[in-house]
Structure 1
Amino acid sequence: MTAVDTLDIMLPHYGDTGLLQAAVRSVLDQTDKDWRLTVVDDGREEGVPEWFASLGDSRVRYMRNERNLGITKNFRKCVELVESTHFTMLGSDDLLLPDYVATIRAAIEAVPDAAIYQPGVEVIDEHGNPSTTLGDEVKKRLYAPKDKSRRLVLSGEPLAANLLGGNWLYFPSIAWRADAVKEISFREDLSVIQDLALIIELIRRGEKLVVEPVTAFRYRRHSGSLSSAEAVTGARFGEAVRFFNEVAVELDRHGWPKAARAARRHLSMRLHALTLLPGALRQRRTDTIRTLLGYALSSSQR
């Protein structure tokens, strides 16, 4: 190949072995066979190394961390291990549709100077059934591009402001240009919102986002995910507030006042906090209720 190198699929794993195996099978089932899968196992589940050895596929590389690194350090390790020009950071509970690699390679060939490639995504629940959540619907209707008929190329302050208002991207489905990400990588001080931090920094540096209309990925939402667990306790919002306030200052200095205002307001995250209140009320989590209300109703800055 000349325009597009072999696609590196990086899979940082911790959790359910059955979901991991399903994710790996979705890679093996790709119509475009020019991929390389690297699994970095941050867990200790029995039988996993043996299962990978039984696959007998030279395109699949498996390694287990000597000690638990945690989600962000494992992400950073995956970035360091990328060898190709482009890569995907697949979630171990998500699924590639059979044309994912072909779809991404076509998008890269069409717009080779972009850094972020977002294919179409189908949201599923923990059982693999199509799922619609309030958060997904709000982001789709208020923030995501309305034109689904063609490939879009987005960049600059309008894109940053849009994503800081409501992040409609699906991190595990994204393909990345490796050199751009390796220069920044994931912030070690963030555990839930590190993907948005990376994306905003790439955009601030002048990189482009390609939105591909072809649905090629199945993104799983379930109560067992780290982001869901931290959301229920309200823990993720403290990290979010810190990030939004910090990036607002940086964007003001960068000369992007509209994006800075969107960061300070972070309306979509406030709405998300409100949607979690019924669950907190049902579980009678007084501290969580107070945290969510404080976050959702605090006065936004101009």
Structure 2
Amino acid sequence: MLVDVMMPFYGDFTHFRQALLSVLHQRHRDFRVTVVDDCYPDDAPWRWAESLGDDRVRYLRNDTNLGVNANVRRCVDLVTADYFVVMGCDDAMYPGYLSRVVELAGIYPRAAVIAPGVQVIDGTGLVRRPLVDRAKHLLAPKEKTVLSGQDLAVSVLRGNWTYFPSLLWRTEAVRAVGESGFRPGLDVVLDLALLLDLTVDGGALVYDPRVVFSYRRHAASVGSVPAVDGGRFAEESEFFAAAARRCAGLGWSRAERAAKMHLTSRLHHGLARVRAVGRG
């Protein structure tokens, strides 16, 4: 099974090297990796990627800086394989990551999303589990499971326990819910928005707790920077209000309540305020 590994890039060069090498060291060899450079300030990453001499690696550079959302959507537009991953340029695959998610996709061929177990690391590569990730762990299913319909909507709206860069998406399902699959204007919750779109469209998510992916959480990550000035929570509040109205229209009362409460987002917001006060 061919997998397109899409890597939107604008970040730490060292992390980028580790991320790309982790893809090239996969035991499952049937993949292509496309790096989409969002106007990084110098050409060192491109020159390094070219020096690898691996014809499975394609390095593209945007003419102008698109920002997180638009660059992710460009990545999805470039996908031609039946399955794809939008991997963070600071994350890392275990050598068996692609083997495992491809195996699960074969077992559940109509699933829209495969979500594997994830280990969280910090900027230096040390294993961490900050409060937000402890909450994700508590919210995630405890064993391999298949979720769909209102049950899936309730699960991810209560608290999005998935890790976007680790997810394997079925291309046909993503394309069916929109031109590119990701809504313009969303940076922090674009993956949750797509999960909800797929759920409403009848898609299923397969979760497997076996850890095969390292997600890097650090001060410069996409989710962390907007939390400093509150932009993250403004985006989340607007999204959850719209999600509640949507679920109400479907008659999904449990999912509507979960969206209205969005408890984990509120708790994260409160914690960020406390930390901001502590920093003066």
CA distance in 1, matches of 2:86, 2:259: 25
Q: Any idea what SS the aligned residue of 1:107 has?
A: helix
1:98 corresponds to which of 91, 95, 98: 95
Tell me whether 1:221 sits opposite 2:211 in the alignment. no
Match of 2:150 in 1: 157
Unaligned runs of 5+ in 2: none
The CA deviation at 1:277 is 2.8
CA distance in 2, matches of 1:214, 1:144: 12
Match of 1:48 in 2: 45
- Percent of aligned positions that are identical: 43
Tell me whether 1:109 sits opposite 2:102 in the alignment. no
Match of 1:204 in 2: 200
Letter in 1 for 2:162: L
Match of 2:227 in 1: 231
Tell me whether 1:179 sits opposite 2:176 in the alignment. no
Match of 2:124 in 1: 127
Q: Any idea what SS the aligned residue of 2:85 has?
A: strand
Unaligned runs of 5+ in 1: 285-302
Tell me whether 1:242 sits opposite 2:238 in the alignment. yes
For the Cα contact (< 8 Å) 1:20–1:93, is it kept in 2? yes
Match of 2:82 in 1: 85
Tell me whether 1:26 sits opposite 2:37 in the alignment. no
Equivalent pairs counted in the alignment come to: 276
Match of 1:194 in 2: 190
Letter in 2 for 1:110: I
CA RMSD of aligned residues (A): 1.0
Q: Any idea what SS the aligned residue of 1:226 has?
A: coil
The 5 Å alignment of 1:265-284 reads 265-284=261-280
Match of 1:11 in 2: 7
CA distance in 2, matches of 1:19, 1:165: 31
1:252 corresponds to which of 248, 252, 256: 248
Over residues 203-256 of structure 1, what are the superposed CA-to-partner deviations in whole Å (9 max), with x where a residue is unaligned?
111100001232110000001112211112111111111100011111111121
The 5 Å alignment of 1:280-291 reads 280-284=276-280
CA distance in 1, matches of 2:133, 2:49: 34
CA distance in 2, matches of 1:226, 1:81: 22
The CA deviation at 1:21 is 0.8
TM-score, structure 2 as length reference: 0.96
Answer with 1 or 2: which has the greater Rg.
1
For the Cα contact (< 8 Å) 1:232–1:279, is it kept in 2? no
For the Cα contact (< 8 Å) 2:189–2:235, is it kept in 1? yes
